[in-house]
Amino acid sequence: MEKNEPDDTPNPSLTENARFSEHHSADYYIDETPVWCDGTSIPQNIFTPMQWRIWWLATAGKFFEGMIVFMTGVSHILIAKEFGLTAFSMGFVTSATLFGILVGAITLGGLSDHYGRRKMFIAEMIMFIFFLVILTFADSFLVIVISLFGLGLALGCDYPTAHMMISESMASRMRGRLVLGAFSFQAVGILVGTGLAFLVLSWYPSLEAWRYMYAAAIVPAILITVGRFYIPESAIWLLAKGRMPEAEKSISQLLKRDPPYPSRFLLKNVATAETNEKKIGELSSVKHLLQDRNSRKAIKLSSIPWFLQDLGTYGVGIFTPVILANVLGYASPHAHSISELIHNKVEAAKGAALIDVMLVVGVILAIIFVDRVGRIRLQVLGFLGCALGLLIAAYGESLNTSQQLPFIFGGLMLFNLMNNLGPNSQTYLIAGEVFPTRYRGAGAGLAASVSKFGGVAIAFFFPILLSDIGASMLLNALAVTSLIGAVITWKYRIEMTGKSLDDVG
């Protein structure tokens, strides 16, 4: 090269200095692919230890929800027998946690828009442990219902909060898989809860076995709570509140790498006079959420299909042991002794565990395809598959005893597979993505709360409807709600696959 010939070779340090002198959003830094000082880059995002810590801690809420809610499908018969409950009273036991989730999602989840994601992330687990201990030592029907409701409050708060802790800390192109990866622990919790019920009943065949089932969650919950104290606040939320120094400290903790990248964080102030501290609290309210035209469409997409999906999820999920007990001849209400009652619940738990395996398969498929196929397509496909599975199970119910078993097992397994591939996972993911940061917690909380109206209603009335109209008619009705869910999803579709949270609103 001649001395006077210009050198076109890029200087990594100059490029780095130029890039690091600009101000960017928190999402930009989270989405950015690291480029080291020698110009070397990697083909995909590197997740820092803190990002993985947040993800693991966020999986706990969905795990405990699956464990507690669906374990009630086994334990509520034991509780009813111990306290001499009627079918009407049993409805309060089976629906108390879901009603708590309904209230908690809308009242506590929205508080994360005002007080912060991290504070509510910690507070919900403290509340969960408190009511879990009370439930373990409950000595009356009223205390049991209040404790289950309190557990629901904590789990309801977790719906929007855990989602936002993940989605506001992870790269956009991996957000769907990571949120659904955390959501998959609901299926793990269902399997653990069902398996735990089976083991406890096998080792301790007593009416008080249900207390040990719930007590088993106390120590893990304490460990999760301690871990949540050692994570930073969401930098995206801090920026929306105009708290620049705290946001820069938070993003540096979140993206701490060895070697460090980037060398410093210069965040763009996205707060305006309209999004100051006082106004943010107002915008987080449901009233202001409903006044925004784009948010009204997001509410319809996130709430109505989720409501319809919960009818099937909790109706089939909680009462699968009851349905199988009827099919297999282990109907608990006809037990003549405590030992026979325990035996019947153990046999029903075995069958439920086999069917629940498909929940894990479904969510694994959802994680694989969500960022390739898209949220909306998977949700529509899942709703259609759920309807088909329910129709197969309903047809099996109309056959004689010797022929109905394969249809009922096959139909319920298909329902669980398609439910977790589609609506059960996608509704949760969509609700935390389609609202802007300033009221993302309120929007996601509202959607979760509306959905739980369906869960509470079906949990309360399912035993009554099962007795009055029969399983076949009930499963056919749930198939219709799944078809409606597919139509509503497509009508109000908002596809967020691959999009940054900065693009919302």
Q: d(Cα 309, Cα 486) in Å, to the nearest integer?
A: 10
SS3 (DSSP) at 498: coil
- Could you give the CA distance from residue 59 to residue 166 in angstroms, rounded to a whole number? 10
Measured CA to CA, the distance from residue 5 to residue 505 in angstroms comes to 50
For residue 20, give both structure tokens: 């690091």
Q: How many CB atoms lie within 10 A of CB 184?
A: 23
Domain membership of residue 43 (yes or no) is no
- Compute the distance between CA of residue 170 and CA of residue 174 in angstroms, rounded to an integer: 7
Phi-psi sector, 498: left (phi>0), alpha (psi -120 to 50), beta: left
**308 vs 218, 220, 383, 419, CA distance in Å?**
32, 32, 10, 12
Count of other CB atoms within 10 angstroms of residue 344:
21
Give domain status of residue 79, yes or no.
yes
Q: How many CB atoms lie within 10 A of CB 93?
A: 22
- Dump pLDDT digits (tens) for 306-363: 999 988 887 777 666 666 666 555 454 444 445 555 555 555 555 566 677 788 889 8
Whole-model pTM: value is 0.76
Closest CA to 124 of 95, 147, 151, 88: 151
325 is a domain residue = yes
Provide the b/e sequence for 300-312 (b: ≥16 CB within 10 Å): bbbbbbbbbbbbb
Distance CA 408, CA 325 (A): 12
Distance of CA 256 to the CA centre of its chain: 28
CA distance linking residue 38 with residue 477, whole number of Å = 63
Kindly state the tokens that stand for 488.
């509503």
> Which tokens belong to 357?
């395996």
Evaluate whether residue 245 is within a structural domain: no
Report the C-alpha dihedral over residues 467, 473, 477, 478, rounded to 10 degrees: 70
What does the pLDDT look like over 413-431, one tens digit per residue? 899 999 999 999 999 899 8
DSSP code, position 437: G
> The CATH number of the domain where 304 resides is what?
1.20.1250.20
* Residue 72 belongs to a domain: yes
Q: Is 19 among the domain residues?
A: no
Domain around 323? 49-239+270-503
Domains in the chain, number: 1
Distance from C-alpha of 336 to C-alpha of 232, rounded to nearest angstrom: 56
> What pLDDT, on the 0 to 100 scale, is given for residue 305?
95
Contact present, 490 and 376 (Cβ < 8 Å): yes
Which token pair is 210? 């249900």
CB 101 within 8 A of CB 159: yes
35, part of any domain: no
The C-alpha atoms of residue 353 and residue 14 are separated, in whole angstroms, by 59
C-alpha–C-alpha distance, residues 201 and 175, integer Å? 40
Whether 77 maps to a domain, the answer reads yes
pLDDT in tens, the chain (505 residues): 444 444 444 444 444 444 555 777 777 788 787 776 655 555 555 688 999 999 999 999 889 988 887 777 677 778 888 888 887 788 788 788 888 888 888 888 778 888 889 999 999 999 999 999 999 999 899 999 999 999 999 999 998 899 899 989 988 888 888 998 998 888 788 878 877 877 887 787 777 888 988 999 999 999 999 999 999 999 988 888 888 889 889 989 998 887 777 777 777 776 554 444 444 443 445 666 776 677 788 889 999 999 999 888 877 776 666 666 665 554 544 444 455 555 555 555 555 666 777 888 898 999 999 988 999 999 999 999 999 999 998 888 777 766 777 888 888 889 999 999 999 999 989 988 888 877 788 888 888 888 888 877 877 777 677 777 777 788 888 999 999 999 999 999 998 887 777 666 5
Distance separating alpha carbons of residues 175 and 30, to the nearest angstrom: 11
Could you count the other beta carbons within 10 Å of the beta carbon of residue 452? Answer: 30
